[in-house]
Each structure stands twice: as C-alpha cells, then as structure tokens.
Amino acid sequence: MKSHGGPGRAKTWRRCKCGRPLRRYWNFCPDCDRHLTWGDDDEVTAAECYNCEWIVSERFSVCPWCGADIYEEGVSSEEPLRAPRGFRYDGRCDKGCGGGVQFPMAYCPWCGGEQAWDWEDRFEGSCPHCAAGVQDDMDWCPWCGEDATGQQLIERSLTRVRRLLIVSRIKPWPYRVLLRPGVSGVDPRWPNTVEIEQKYVVGARRRDEIPWSMLVGLIVHELGHSYLYDHWSWTRTTEFGRLFGHVDKAYRGVDRSWVDFERRRVATTPVNHVSGYAATHPLEDFAETFRFYVTRRGRLRELFAEFGRKRKGVVVYEKFLALDRYIASQRARR
C-alpha cells in the first residue's frame, strides 16, 4: 500500500456549486454529494477518457480513474512510464509492472491493475462504506459518494438517543456522531466529535444482527464525555470534585474494562457508583451517571427508589441531583 505524502500537499483546485472547496480527483462533493468530473480544462494533456471524461495522458493504455481501455497504437507508450506530462509520480504500480501512479488513481494507467493507497497520513478517518479516507466534517464520502459519517447505518439508535435527550430536557450542543474503526470515544481536543466503533454495524449480514439497544447506551455514554468536555468549567468546581473526583486523575487500564451499555438497571455494587465501570475513573463516573440519567429520562424519583432497594450510598443520590441541577441551569441560560 502506497503513501502519498503528508497533509501539506493537499491543494484546493476549485469550488463546488454549493460552495465547498474541492480537492482534485474527488469523485463527489463532501457537502452536497454532487458527482464531479475532472477534465482537461487547462489543456495540459489534450486528452480525456472517452468513458468518464476525466483527464488522461495520451501515453496511457488504461484510464486510471474508471479502468477503461484507452490504448492507441502508435500513441500510447509501449513501456510503463514514471510520470508523463500532466501527472506526478506518487508511487509504483502495486501489480509490479514498473509504471508510476499518482494519488488517488484507482487503476494503473499502464497495466490496468487496481491500486491501494494509504489514507491514514492525510485523512482523519475512513468511510464506513468503502474504507477510503474521509475528514470528520464530511457528510458524504468524496470517493464512493455514500454517507461518510455512518449515521445512516445507525439511524435507528440515533433517533432513539435524540428523543431521550429531548425528554431529559438537556439543552442541545453541537455534537457529531461518527462511525469509525478502533475504540469508541471522545478526544478532549475535539469535544464535539463522538466516535463509535463501527464493528457493531459494518459487516452485519442482517439488520437484526445489529445490537441497537447496546448502541443507544454506548452513544449516550460517549455523549456524556462530549457534554462534560463542552462544559469543562464545571469540573473545576468544588461540588464536582467532591462528588465525581478529580478529572485529571491518570487512567489505569480503563480501556480494558468491560461494561454492559445495554443495561438500564443500576448495579448493586460498588455502593458509591451506578456501575463497576463508573468506579474506574471520574470521567467514566460522570459518563455512566449521564447515561443512566438520560436512558431513564431524568426520572429521579424512579431512580432514587431503585437506589434505596439496592442500598446505594448517599453520594450516588447527590451525583444525580447535581447533574439535574446543572442541566436545569444550562437550560435556563439564554
């Protein structure tokens, strides 16, 4: 798999009709999903593919964009070239013909072999449909034209989450849920970007194989992190520190802990937390408190009755009361 340089090499070539700046050789606009065509507008090569109408070199034997046979006897090069006029060299053909290819050619222009590219050095994530590189602010994948966020794949769970937030009377904040490979989480540097592990959805043969209820709990838990990062000043108050602890505390093996995000009932132990995962770190304590508060629709009387049956400590009651008061205070602010 070939690399193609760092982020600094990206260049804006033109704007879409919707106003979005475009990178050369994107197939679709990331904002409006408009299909794009990159012809020889600047008359660099004086050649375009008869099939897709994209710019090609007259020396090519195969269109590197659509794979069409464009060989012309006496014109096309009989030997694979490194970088004919109008194109640059970003790597050698993956099939070993010796010819040079430019990012993001899908096919070798000399032998027609399919090419693979390393997307990680330039893009923030990968499309849940085609696995090509996408940025977090993209609504549509510039390569396959599908939903770049993956939200369409989990719309059932997202709809449920939105309803729970409304019923819990939580003031909206500009969070963005993305399906991405790896570990679910929220980076403090980008507090409104919530990444959900795509393995629960991508690859499922049937929709009934997707754990919808678990996804609701997982999304709400990660939204708890996003909500707290978005209201970080609260963590510096005496009340928050007394109830949840110091958020600057180092993580110790938290990522290896297992938690049942589908569970809606409060765990019996530990006494001073709503779940075992909540006891691993103050940030997880808040996220789990937030999850139970939202999935139980902010019904404190119902929650407190369950706390009493399970003999929870007084501090657990105080955590939910503090969260309820803070949510109300944010709702009251203009």
Q: Domain ranges for the chain, please list them.
A: 151-332
Tokens 């919707």 found at: 18
Q: What is the pLDDT, as a whole number, of residue 251?
A: 72
* Cα-based torsion angle of the residue sequence 35, 157, 319, 227 in order, rounded to the nearest 10 degrees: 0
Cα separation, 334 vs 332, whole angstroms: 7
Q: What is the pLDDT, as a whole number, of residue 3?
A: 56
Q: What is the pLDDT, as a whole number, of residue 250?
A: 79
* Helix, strand, coil in percent for the chain, rounding step 5: 30, 10, 55
Judge contact between 253 and 183, C-beta under 8 A.
no
Q: What is the pLDDT, as a whole number, of residue 182?
A: 87
Per the structure block, which two tokens stand in for 267? 């765990």
Q: What is the pLDDT, as a whole number, of residue 183?
A: 87
Per the structure block, which two tokens stand in for 218? 């997982």
- For helices 282-295 and 155-167, the axis angle rounded to 10 degrees is 90
Per the structure block, which two tokens stand in for 217? 């709990």
pLDDT in tens, the chain (334 residues): 665 544 434 455 789 999 999 999 999 999 999 999 999 999 999 999 999 999 999 999 999 999 999 999 999 999 999 999 999 999 999 999 999 999 999 999 999 999 999 998 889 999 999 999 999 999 999 999 999 999 999 999 999 999 999 999 999 999 999 999 988 999 999 999 999 999 999 877 677 788 999 999 999 999 999 999 999 999 999 999 999 999 988 776 555 556 778 777 888 889 999 999 999 999 999 999 999 999 999 999 999 999 999 999 999 999 999 999 999 999 988 6
Q: pTM for the full model?
A: 0.88
Cα separation, 284 vs 99, whole angstroms: 52
Q: What is the pLDDT, as a whole number, of residue 258?
A: 60
Judge contact between 115 and 2, C-beta under 8 A.
yes
Q: How many residues does the chain have?
A: 334
